[in-house]
Amino acid sequence: MIAGLVLLGIVLALVAFVVGIYNRLVALGNRYKNAFAQIEVQLKRRHDLIPNLVETAKGYMAHERETLDAVISARNQATAGLERAASDPTNAEAVKGLGSAEGALSGAVGRLFAVMEAYPDLKANQNMMQLSEELTSTENKVSFARQAFNDAVTAYNIYRQSFPTVVLAGMFGHPSDAALLEFDSEAIAEAPKVSF
Amino acid sequence: MATNFFENQDRARKKTSLLVFLFAAAVVAILATLYALAVLVVGFQGQDPSTGAMRWNLDWWSPELLSQATLFTLFVVGGGSLYKIAQLRAGGSVVAEGLGGRLLHADTLDPNERKLLNVVEEMAIASGTATPPVYLLDREVGINAFAAGFTPNDAVIGVTRGCAEALTRDELQGVIAHEFSHILNGDMRLNLRLIGVIYGILIIGMLGYWLLRSAAWSGAGHRRNNRDNSGAVLLAVGFGLMVIGFLGTFFGNLIKASVSRQREFFADASAVQFTRNPDGIAGALKKIAGLAAGSRIDHPNAPEASHMFFGRALPSLFATHPPLEERIRRLDPTFDGKLSESVSEPAAAGAMSGFAAGPAGAAVNQIGAATSAHVDQAARLIASLPSEVTRAAYETWGARAVIYSLLIADEDPTRRQQLEWLRKYADDGVLDETERLIPMVGGLGATQRMTLIDLVIPALRELSQTQYRAFKDNVGALVAADRKIDVFEWTLQRILWQHLAPVFETVRPTRTRFRSLARVAPACAVVLSTLAWAGARTRTAAESAFARGANDLGLSDLRLIEPEQSGLDDLDGALALLDGLAPLRKGELLHACAVAAGADSEITDREVELVRATADSLGCPMPPLLAGQALV
C-alpha cells in the first residue's frame, strides 16, 4: 500500500510537471497571437493612409507616375499579406511574407518622400502635412506593436526550444518556432538615384 | 451596505467548506461504485457454453482490490482536480481562452465591440476599479456572459457574440452588472474552485468513454469463436467507468446547484441596484427566453464552467441556474409569460420594493455596493475627459504617454529633468506625445485623474514583458525626479502595479491568513500613519488623526510612525500583508482608514483617492464619491 502511494505521488508529480509545460506553451502561444492582433490594427491604419497620400500627391506630381503606382501596388501587396498572416499568425511563411511586403511598402513610400523633396509646393500643402504627420505617428505605433509581437514570439521560441519542453513540444501541437516580423526593405540595398 | 459586501465575501468563503464536504462524499460514492465494478469484473468466470448463463465468483471483501481501487480513484480524481486547479491559477484568462474567447482591444473600430467595452468601462469606474479585460466568444450565438478570476484585480469578463449583437445597451448593462456583482461578492473564487474540483470527478467518465471506443476498435478485429474474453472485459470496464462518469456528473451538478444557484438570484438583485434601467436585466432574460438558442453554450469545454454563466448554458438534471421565468418574475412581477416584444414600461413601484436604493450613506459604506447613481456619475466622469486623451489612453503606444503626462511636474528643475529622461530613454515620439498631452491633463481634478488611470490599464496590459519593464523603470524615474513621493504619485503607482502585476509578474492568489487585527497591528499602523500624514499639516494634527483611526480599529496602543518609516516600500509591504486579512476585518480596517483620512475638518480629493486606492489594493473597491457625499 505504501509503495503504491509513493508510486502514485511520483506519477502525479510527473503528470503535473508535464501538464505545466503544456499550459505554458498554450499561454505563450496565445500571447503572441494577441500581440499580432495589435499589429494588425496599426498596419491597417497605415494601409488606409496611403491612398489619401497618393491622391494628394498626384495633384502636384502628375509626371511621377511610376513612383506613385509603385506605392499603390506595394500597398495592395501589403494588404493582401496582412490578410493572409492575420488568418493564421502561427504560419511562419505568412508572417515572413507580410514582413517583406511591409518592407517593400516602406521602401516605396520612402522613395515617394525622397521625390517629393523636389516639389516644395506639395510639401507645404496642408493636407499633405497632416497626412505625413499621421503617417509618422502610425509608423511609431507600428514599430512599437511589432516590437511587442517580436518580444512575445521570442519568449515563445525560447521556451519551446528549452529542455525538456523541446522533447514534448511536437506532441503538444507546437512543432516549430514562430516567425519574427521583420520589415526588411530591399530598397535599402539600392543606392538612391540622383538626377541633375 | 458595506457590511453586506464583506459579509458576502465571508459567506462565499464558508461555502467552500460545503463544497469540500460534498466533494468528499462524491469521491466516496465513486470509490464504492468502482470497487463494486472491480469485484464484478474479477469475479466474472465466463459464460457457460451449454446454458448461456453467466458464471460469477463474487468475493465482496477483498482488501487488495479495495486498495487498488482507492489508489486508482485518488490518482484520477485527485490528479484531475489538481491539474485543473493548477491550470486555473493563472486566473480568469485561462477560463476565457479555454472557452474560445478572443481578447478585445480598447482601440477597436467595431461598433458592437466598442459599445460592449464602453458598458464594461462604466461599470468598472462606477465600482471603483480598473476596466477588466473583456473576451468575446465569437462563435456562440446564445446570449450569455461570465466573469472569472480570483479577485476584482484579476477578473476577466466574457460575453458571447449573441449577447453583444442582440441586446440593447441597457440590457447589456444589466448583464454586465450581474457579472460585476459576482466579481464583487467573492463568487468568482468559489466558482473557480468548483471547476477545479469537479474536473476530477468528470474525468472518470471521460476515461470510460475512451476505453469503450478502444474496446470497440479492438473488438472489430476479433475472429469469431475466439474464447478470449479480454475484449469483453475491456468493454465492460469502459462501460462501467462511463456509468461512474454519469455518477460523477450527477454529483458534480448537485454540488454546483447547491453552491451556486441561490447566488444567481442575489446577483440579479444586486444588478438591479447597479444599473440605470432596472428593466435592462429583465429585458435580457426575456430575450434569452425568446431566442431559440437561448443561453446555450456550444463550446466543448462548457460543462466544466456551466455554473459561471449568466444564463443556463447546458441542460442538466440539477440546474445550475434558477428557472428563467422565476428570475424574470422576481425582477418584473407584471411579466405574463408572453415573450412578445413588450415595450419596457417604467418599473412599477412593487418591482423595486426590497431593492429600493436608500439615501446615499457614507462612501465607505458603499464598498462593493455601487448604485445606478454611481453609474450615471461614471458616465459623466468618462465623458468629462478630453477626447484626445481618452483616444491615446485606449492604445498601448499612447497609454504610456498618458501616464507620463500625469507625472510631469509643473515647476521647472524637476520638469526639465523628467522631460530630459524621457528624451533619452523613451521610444521615439513618446516625448512629443507626452508634451502634447500635458496641457490637456493639466486641468483635471483628482477624481478625473484616477478615472483616467483606470481607463488606461487595459491598453497597458498588452505591453510585452520587455516594454513593461521599460515602462515601469520610466515611471519610477519620473516619480523619483523630485526626490519625494507625494500622495498622487503613490496612488498612481499603487493602482498601476496592482492591476498589471498579475499579468507580468507571477502573483500567487492570496489566501486568508489573518483573522484578527492584532496579528497585523504593525502593518495597520503603517497604513494609518500614511493616511494621517497625508491630510495633516502639523504633527499634532497627524497624531490626532492617527489616534482616531486607531481607536476606531480597537487598537488604541498603536503609535504614529514617522514619515521616513512609512514610505512607499513600507506601505507596499504592509498592504501585501493586509491582503491576507479576513474580509470582515478588511472592512473594519478600511473604515478606520476613512476615519483617519477624514479626521481633519477639510478633506481633499487627494485624500479621498488615497483611501480609494487603499481599498482597491485590498480587493474591496470603493466607488468614487457622489456629489456632496461624505467619506465616512
- At A97-155, the pLDDT tens digits run 999 999 999 999 988 888 888 888 888 888 888 998 899 889 999 999 999 999 999 99
Q: Residues near B456 by Cβ (< 8 Å), separated by ≥ 6?
A: B393, B399, B402, B403
A17-21, B497-501, B589-593: which range is least confident on average? A17-21
CB-CB under 8 Å, B68 with A34: no
CB-CB under 8 Å, B67 with A12: no
Instruction: Read off the pLDDT of each residue in A15-33 and give the average, rounded to a whole number.
Output: 84
pLDDT at position B387 is: 92
Q: Alpha-carbon distance B619 to B586, whole Å?
A: 9
pLDDT tens string B13-40:
777 777 778 778 888 888 888 888 778 7
Q: Residues near B287 by Cβ (< 8 Å), separated by ≥ 6?
A: B143, B166, B167, B171
pLDDT beyond 90 at B115:
yes
Q: Which three cell numbers stand for residue B220?
A: 472489430
Looking at 3.30.2010.10, 3.40.190.10, 3.10.310.30, 3.40.50.2300, the CATH number of the domain B94-190+264-334 comes to 3.30.2010.10
Decide if A37 touches B, using CB distance below 8 A. yes
pLDDT at position A146 is: 92
Instruction: Read off the pLDDT of each residue in B115-139 and give the average, rounded to a whole number.
Output: 92
> Strand pairing of B156-160 and B134-137?
parallel
pLDDT tens string B305-323:
777 888 888 776 667 788 8
Question: pTM for this one?
Answer: 0.81
Sheet holding B134-137, edge to edge: B101-103, B134-137, B156-160, B145-148
- Is A20 within a domain? no
Q: Which residue has the higher pLDDT, B346 or B202?
A: B202
CB-CB under 8 Å, A152 with B79: no
Q: How is chain B split into domains, by residue range? A: 2-93+193-253, 94-190+264-334, 387-502, 509-617
- Is A6 within a domain? no
Q: Which residue has the higher pLDDT, B242 or B166?
A: B166
| Chain B residues touching A172 at Cβ < 8 A | none
CATH of the domain at A122: 1.20.1440.20
| Chain A residues touching B465 at Cβ < 8 A | 151, 155
pLDDT at position B215 is: 67
pLDDT at position A195 is: 39
By three-state DSSP, how is residue B139 classified?
A: coil
CB-CB under 8 Å, B103 with A34: yes
| A 156-195 residues with CB < 8 A to B | none
Q: What angle do CA B198, B200, B206 make, to 5 degrees?
A: 105
Q: Alpha-carbon distance B417 to B404, whole Å?
A: 13
| Chain A residues touching B108 at Cβ < 8 A | 41
pLDDT tens string B548-591:
888 888 888 888 888 776 666 788 888 888 988 888 888 899 99
Catalytic positions of B? 179
pLDDT beyond 70 at B358:
no
Residue of chain A with shortest Cα separation from B100: A30
pLDDT beyond 80 at B510:
no
pLDDT tens string B440-449:
999 898 889 9
pLDDT at position B176 is: 92
Q: Alpha-carbon distance B484 to A125, whole Å?
A: 48
| Chain A residues touching B396 at Cβ < 8 A | 38, 144-145, 148
pLDDT beyond 60 at B5:
yes
pLDDT beyond 50 at B327:
yes
Count of domains forming chain A: 1
pLDDT beyond 60 at B404:
yes
Decide if A125 touches B, using CB distance below 8 A. no
pLDDT beyond 90 at B438:
yes
Decide if A27 touches B, using CB distance below 8 A. yes
pLDDT beyond 60 at B359:
no
Q: Which residue has the higher pLDDT, B372 or A94?
A: A94
How many angstroms separate the CA of residue A17 from the nearest CA in chain B?
A: 10
How many other CB atoms are found less than 10 A from the CB of residue B360?
A: 17
Length of chain A: 196
Instruction: Read off the pLDDT of each residue in B526-538 and give the average, rounded to a whole number.
Output: 84
Nearest to A102 by CA among A118, A115, A85, A119: A85
Instruction: Read off the pLDDT of each residue in A71-96 and give the average, rounded to a whole number.
Output: 92
What is the domain extent for residue A49? 29-186
Chain B residues in contact with chain A using a Cβ-Cβ cutoff of 8 Å: 67-68, 71, 74-75, 78-79, 82-83, 86-87, 90, 94, 97, 103, 105, 107-109, 395-398, 427-429, 462-467
- Is A149 within a domain? yes
| Chain B residues touching A137 at Cβ < 8 A | 429
